[in-house]
Structure 1
């Protein structure tokens, strides 16, 4: 699979991710690309934003892991129903590395396909 091209600002953000969270970020980054090979990534709201068609998904580092923003509540592949404790009241999915380790790539792909459909 080809690498998603990123600009200097996105590369700087990714390079600054703490080592403890980098494997999870890299996994999600790659799965987004698998879900939508035509995705582009730019900085928006000071975080990497993956855009395809008129849709977007944002990934951000937080103290304990990686947050996912922009997913479609009406088409998340059942992700939140299966993992309700990962959703915050603001509509964010907060993933700690241990939480994500128990979630299959297919579940994440369904989430990203739904978020970026259209």
Structure 2
């Protein structure tokens, strides 16, 4: 497994405005899932407890947040203003991150992960 230092290096490859968003997202995840291990997986920052919780990655026009399928179904109403797919949510780079929503999604994944031990 790759270390959180590699996540720092990953984040540093992006423009400053994107780095700020990525660091905000990272801080939300770390605060909400304090027992999760930071790893690099599929060339993206990821968080693992017993299983993988969430991943994220930056792209040209958005940040991809990958919490698996179940939270996207569970939070469907809250996610209406975001582009979603089966396992991904896109957050535009020119808008603030929905911190409260991200927190609830990560909490949901932590609970789900603990139920699947």
Q: TM-score over 0.5 for the alignment?
A: yes
Structure with the bigger RCO (C-alpha within 8 Å, sep 6+) is 1
In the TM superposition, what are the counterparts of 1:98-117 in structure 2 within 5 Å? 98-99=94-95, 101=96, 103=98, 105-117=99-111
CA spacing shift, 1:84–1:52, aligned 2, 3 Å: same
Q: Which residue of 2 aligns with 1:80?
A: 76
Secondary structure of 1:82's counterpart equals coil
What is the Cα deviation at residue 13 of structure 1?
A: 0.6
Structure 1 ranges of 4+ moved more than 6 A: none
CA spacing shift, 1:87–1:35, aligned 2, 3 Å: same
What is the Cα deviation at residue 50 of structure 1?
A: 1.1
Q: Which residue of 1 aligns with 2:23?
A: 26
Unpaired runs of 5+ residues, structure 2, are none
| Alpha-carbon distance in structure 1 between the residues aligned to 2:42 and 2:97 | 29
In the TM superposition, what are the counterparts of 1:28-67 in structure 2 within 5 Å? 28-67=25-64
| Alpha-carbon distance in structure 2 between the residues aligned to 1:60 and 1:73 | 17
Unpaired runs of 5+ residues, structure 1, are none
In the TM superposition, what are the counterparts of 1:85-96 in structure 2 within 5 Å? 85-96=81-92
TM-score (norm 1): 0.77
